[in-house]
Amino acid sequence: MPLTTELAEALALKSGSANQLAYLGRLWHAYVWMEGDAATATDARTRIAEGINGQLATARIRITRGFQAYDPVVRRGRPQRYVALAATLSAGADGGVGEARAVIEWIKGTRDLAGLSDAAQEFAVISHFAELGRGYSSQLDPLYKRLVAIAGAGSAAGAAQQWAELATGWSPVMTYREDSGTDWDPGS
């Protein structure tokens, strides 16, 4: 299916929903991340970014390219790292239990993106769009399981600890520098 058709299908889904962001992330992965032709990838990146930015305008979140032209970056001002988001999400008296429950409700489609805190909105867009754009589709199920564990934590300290572990232990959280440092070098 051509990008125009798939992009129209994605944009027809509920605006800012987990399904829509995941679909757009998969399109980014297929048409930008995996595309060998720079001109084709640039056109696709522009079209997908414009489409998703229109959907996220009310959240004041923008998608741009990163250091690598194929890398999607989520911005509300300055891009946030997982460690900073987890610290914000777990800062409440409940250690982030409520934030995890809210994100789960958003994933299930019973809460709108606008019904999440600013940090939870950024986390949702990063995890469901940018990480799928980077090829981490298989990590949505492990993420959901981590969120369920946080939501069911028996204490605020336990929930906060699980947010911290997600921010450092979930596969997609590695930065470019960390990830490229693990590449196999046949010369060494």
187 found inside a domain:
no
Residue-wise pLDDT tens digits, 54-75 = 989 888 999 988 878 888 989 8
Lowest mean pLDDT among 14-18, 23-27, 67-71, 179-183: 179-183
In angstroms, the CA 87 to CA 98 distance is 14
Instruction: Identify the DSSP state of 129.
Output: I
Q: Which of 16-25, 51-60, 125-134 has the lowest mean pLDDT?
A: 51-60
Q: Does 186 map to a domain?
A: no
Q: Is residue 122 part of a domain?
A: yes
Least confident among 77-86, 147-156, 174-183: 174-183
Assigned domain for 185 exists: no
Q: Is the residue at 188 inside a domain?
A: no
Q: Considering only CA atoms, which of 104, 101, 124, 98 is closest in space to residue 113?
A: 124
Look up the domain containing 122 and give its range: 3-173
Residue 184 lies in a domain: no
Q: Taking the complete model, does pTM exceed 0.95, yes or no?
A: no
Does residue 30 lie within any of the structural domains?
yes
**Does 180 fall in a domain?**
no
- Which tokens belong to 53? 């930015």
Q: Quote the number of domains for the chain.
A: 1
